[in-house]
Chain A
Amino acid sequence: MADLLFTHSYLILLFPLLSFVTISLRPVQLSPKMAGRFAIGCQGLSMLYGLAVAAAYWQTVIGQPQLYPARSLVCFDLAWLNFSPTLTANMGIFLDPISVMMIVVISIISFLVNIYSVGYMKDDPGFARFFALMALFSFSMLGLVISSNILQMFVFWELVGMSSYALIGFWYQKPSAVAASKKAFVVTRFADTFFLIGIIVVSFYTQSFDFQTLNSPETAALLDHTFMLGIVPINLLTLATILIFTGGWGKSAMFPLHIWLPDAMEGPTPVSSIIHSATMVVAGVFLTARMFPLFAASEVTLAVVQFVGAFTALFAAIIAITQKDIKRILAFSTLSQLGYMLFSLGVAKMVTGIHPGAEINPLGYSAAMYHVFTHAFFKCMLFLGAGAIIHAVHSNDIMDMGGLRRLMPKTYWSLLTACLAIGGIFPFSGFWSKDAILLAALQSGHYIVCAVGLATGGLTAFYIFRFFFLTFHGRARSKFHDVRENSWMTFSIMALTIPTVTAGMLEHLFVSEVTVPGLAYTPNFSHPLWLPTLASLAGIAGISLAWTFYGRGRTEAAERCRLRIAPVYQVIYNKFYIDEVYLFITHKIIFHGIAAPIKWLDRHIVDGAMNLIGEFLQQGGKAVRLLQNGQLQLYLGVTTLGFIALLFLGR
């Protein structure tokens, strides 16, 4: 039974693909309503099959550790491209703890978001197109997580980028949406270029794309040599892993490539919820986890991952405090949480005296994956709730909201659980996963990162409750018309409260089962009690501060405080002017400084030389044409003279 499930595990992908093909190519005429139902049906089948595979995986692989010591299973692996006799790219399905976990997350969230979209996209002219693109995304994302080799992963990696591009620009009549989709595509493509170079470097040396080969200690030993680039010594292993990580850097929108994610909020809210918070942006974290043994073998790479993650976590949380657009607050919150996941992977390496970074602390790895899991649910719900609010109020600005508690009670109570979860309040899921991350940082001896995590936790609680109080509490700050909860939408939101509240129970499961591949490990729960206490205190402090400023939906106190620190506020509100820096670099330096002179050179020197040659030939042709004058006598005269000349010259 289990074998049959595994053999046909491609069906998880096939259902969304079928839905995409059917709705977009229309072999049969589907009304928009039917298209939505069909998409939900396919997504539901995919979810059921995914859950069945997960259950079978649980019984077969996790249940029999003596048969599957690596906890992984290759369902099938077909040769796809033969580059050379020794290098073949396969297409396969690889099941291990993290890919099974991602299948569960993606298929459940995809199903719920599809249901939600029926309510959210009602009466939109692109209703059917929306469901087709969502199905394409689900297909690509599921393909990404089950990839058995890095090239296959790259193919799906680009596919999710493509569907993200199409969905951000879904309302293509809006210039801002088009600009945002272009920005997202260019920035992620820029990062993916390095990813591809990394793949080429690694596969060139190892003659393999397969994750199991790449993650083996032999590969690390093979790559671990230093060469000189000019005068700079470069370790090949570090170079290759950082190149690969750069792909995840862009996809997970880490500083300074984070600029596309806030703009991506121009897309419909269900898109933001599934693609730009719960699943696709996690792909960078997933990639780092997937390649973790290789990354960990390098001296530097995990330190880079850790630094980038911790910095982005704090940086984005600070910006989120000042934002007024409901979706942008959540976008920066996503950035911050992604930072948590990445630095958690980064701290999975001990600071030790003798061998800097020689020892692996698997708790960081497990905690990162656990946070991916919990964050997917509560952040997805936050976005869906924000979408419901936008749908009801017809505005994105939290300053226009307020007092929605009585009008949208179901959304209110559901979002309260999500806010408590992301704020890290016991016993909601976020408390456990953040606690695991902080504990990992502490165990590995990365005290600064641990402190950054604690501080970010406090900031997170503050900004999320600022959003919560300003939206739901107090009195309405603008006139609402006909605010009603749509049952399609509230169903999904309420369904997501279940994992948001209960996922905390899975911590032991994650710590003991979702571990670094190929590493014997006994879970270590030696928990200093002060750490969760401190984390909770930070969270509660954030919430109380939010209550003093914004409780009952007031804004006066916050306004006074804002005026006192006006210059600092201005800088933070404008996101530290990072976008402006990018504009300056691209427009002023690259466009004007480099591209314009090159353009001049091309137009005047290169084109000029070509034009000169053309002109010369044209004039020559004109001169020769004069000989062709149709006067037979001239022709004959020349012929005769030529003949006579030949007679004499021939002698």
Chain B
Amino acid sequence: MTLIHFVVLSLTLCAIGVYGVLTRRNLIGILLSVEVILNGANINFAAFAHFRASDPAAGAIFPIFVMAVSGCEMAVALAIIISMYRRKKRLDVYKLEELNG
């Protein structure tokens, strides 16, 4: 178990997340994919903290921060999604393109 394994894992998670964001049509699916990207980033932080940093605690704080912030973000995003579902009765992003130029 070396650093490279963790980096590959985090990169894979990130790529899966990006793929999800780009291809999913459902808003909730996109939201889940964003969570996957964030988790990939968290693993990256933790791995570098564990293998490289002189004080591993510093690296451990960042994933906790990210989790807290993304928790808040999820709450807001879900509120928006629910309100949008109530108004439109659908969550297909291809149909929700009212902000186009």
Instruction: Select from chain B the residue with minimum beta-carbon distance to A625.
Output: B101
- Provided the pairs A640-B18, A640-B22 are in contact, do residues A633 and B101 lie with their beta carbons within 8 angstroms? no
Decide if A522 is an interface residue (CB 8 Å cutoff). no
Q: How many A-B residue pairs have CB under 8 A?
A: 27
Instruction: Select from chain A the residue with minimum beta-carbon distance to B21.
Output: A636
Decide if B93 is an interface residue (CB 8 Å cutoff). yes
Decide if A628 is an interface residue (CB 8 Å cutoff). yes
Binary contact readout B86-101 vs A (1 if CB under 8 angstroms, 0 otherwise): 0000000110011111
Determine whether the beta carbon of B97 is less than 8 Å from that of A629: yes
How many residues of chain B get a CB closer than 8 Å to chain A's CBs?
12
Give the docked Cα–Cα distance between A632 and B18 (Å): 13
Determine whether the beta carbon of A632 is less than 8 Å from that of B100: no
Rounded to whole Å, the gap between the CB of A159 and the closest CB of chain B is: 59
Determine whether the beta carbon of B22 is less than 8 Å from that of A636: yes
Give the docked Cα–Cα distance between A535 and B93 (Å): 109
Decide if A173 is an interface residue (CB 8 Å cutoff). no
Residues of the A chain whose Cβ atoms lie less than 8 Å from the Cβ of B18: 636, 640
Residues of the B chain whose Cβ atoms lie less than 8 Å from the Cβ of A636: 18, 21-22
Which residues 64-101 of B sit at the A interface, judged by CB distance below 8 A?
93-94, 97-101
Determine whether the beta carbon of A630 is less than 8 Å from that of B97: yes
Determine whether the beta carbon of B100 is less than 8 Å from that of A630: yes
Which residues 477-516 of A sit at the B interface, judged by CB distance below 8 A?
none
B-side interface mostly:
loop
Partner of A637, one of B22, B94, B101: B22
Decide if A86 is an interface residue (CB 8 Å cutoff). no
Determine whether the beta carbon of A629 is less than 8 Å from that of B21: no
Give the docked Cα–Cα distance between A640 and B23 (Å): 13
Binary contact readout B32-43 vs A (1 if CB under 8 angstroms, 0 otherwise): 000000000000
Give the docked Cα–Cα distance between A371 and B100 (Å): 86
Give the docked Cα–Cα distance between A478 and B54 (Å): 127
Give the docked Cα–Cα distance between A631 and B24 (Å): 12
Residues of the A chain whose Cβ atoms lie less than 8 Å from the Cβ of B101: 625, 628-630
Give the docked Cα–Cα distance between A632 and B98 (Å): 11
Rounded to whole Å, the gap between the CB of B13 and the closest CB of chain A is: 15
Partner of B97, one of A625, A631, A637, A640: A631
Give the docked Cα–Cα distance between A251 and B98 (Å): 72
Which residues 625-651 of A sit at the B interface, judged by CB distance below 8 A?
625, 628-633, 636-637, 640
Determine whether the beta carbon of B93 is less than 8 Å from that of A629: no
Give the docked Cα–Cα distance between A339 and B48 (Å): 109
Residues of the B chain whose Cβ atoms lie less than 8 Å from the Cβ of A631: 93-94, 97, 100
Instruction: Select from chain A the residue with minimum beta-carbon distance to B25.
Output: A633
Instruction: Select from chain A the residue with minimum beta-carbon distance to B98.
Output: A630
Which residues 598-640 of A sit at the B interface, judged by CB distance below 8 A?
625, 628-633, 636-637, 640
Give the docked Cα–Cα distance between A633 and B93 (Å): 9
Give the docked Cα–Cα distance between A640 and B93 (Å): 19
Residues of the A chain whose Cβ atoms lie less than 8 Å from the Cβ of B94: 631
Determine whether the beta carbon of A633 is less than 8 Å from that of B22: yes
Determine whether the beta carbon of B99 is less than 8 Å from that of A630: yes
* A631-B93, A633-B93, A637-B22 known, 16 other contacts, Cβ within 8 Å: A625-B101, A628-B100, A628-B101, A629-B101, A630-B97, A630-B99, A630-B100, A631-B94, A631-B97, A632-B93, A633-B22, A633-B23, A633-B30, A636-B18, A636-B22, A640-B18
Closest 4 CB pairs of A and B: A630-B100, A628-B101, A630-B97, A630-B99
